[in-house]
Amino acid sequence: MPTFSDGRSARTSYRSLFISDLHLGARACRTGPILDFLRGVEAETIYLVGDIFDLWHGGRLHWAAAHDAIMAELRARAKAGTRVVYLPGNHDARMRDPGAAIEGWELREAVIHTAADGRRYLVLHGDQCDPRILRWHLMTRLGSRVDALLRQFDGHLRRRAGLTEWEQSFVDRMLSAANTLLAMGDRFERKLTRLAGAAGAVGVICGHSHKPGLRRHNGVVYGNCGDWVDSLTALAEDFDGKMRLLSYERAPVPAAMPRPARPAEGKAEAGALAEGAM
């Protein structure tokens, strides 16, 4: 569990938490950081913003006790009264099918979130704004297979280099760069912010691209949760309605908690969380 500057191991509380792209069941899933992060935060509402599970490749799921522990943590939150809203993405698109259900979770394609200050945000995974070719089933399966093979190769390299799951490898950086190219510059952001404007919202909160961010695009707030394969990030809403980009860091606690930095200024550690706010 993350620790904080006064030595506590208590959870940090937020009004709302937005987390996406866990990819539970994929070889690339970082179960250790995910579980550690979830145990260190709490919120009145948790939005699971797509690709929580990796179901699209049709192959064998990589599932272990740590995956069960993550699911148990989320189920326990729902049972304790936390509202859990699950918005499936392209990797777990079968959960969009009629009749799909997870006890205690609300399943939605998209939702409008009203913050404490009254601002409204459109929340959805984001694959809805992919270029048409990337939405073809054949392309998505091909991409998943290539990713799985690269991750398998990465596993061998990690063992030889003595890297832990907390450390980023060359393959991680290469896949992150590929995700940036597939996002086609800022076209992905433009489409999503236009969609938010059409819905009467001041901003959009999404995942999908694995590129975390919290900024304004033509006057509309663009928030991307990032992912838990490479960036280890999430978005959170404070009790006054302020949005924050959280970056998980398994690092020593500083003597004093620094002032939160805006995303463009880089990371600032706050216990195990680095934050940028808007």
Q: Looking at the predicted structure, is the pLDDT value of residue 7 above 70? A: no
Nearest-angstrom CA–CA distance, 205 and 246: 14
Complete domains list, the chain, with CATH: 14-277 (3.60.21.10)
Percent of the chain with pLDDT over 70: 66
pLDDT tens digits, one per residue of 19-42: 999 999 988 889 999 999 999 999
Of 49 and 164, the one with more pLDDT: 49
What is the structure's pLDDT at 109?
95
* Phi/psi of residue 218, nearest 5 degrees: 55, 40
Give first-to-last CA distance, the chain, whole Å: 26
Tokens of 232: 């280890």
pLDDT tens digits, one per residue of 113-155: 999 999 999 999 998 886 544 444 555 555 555 565 665 666 6
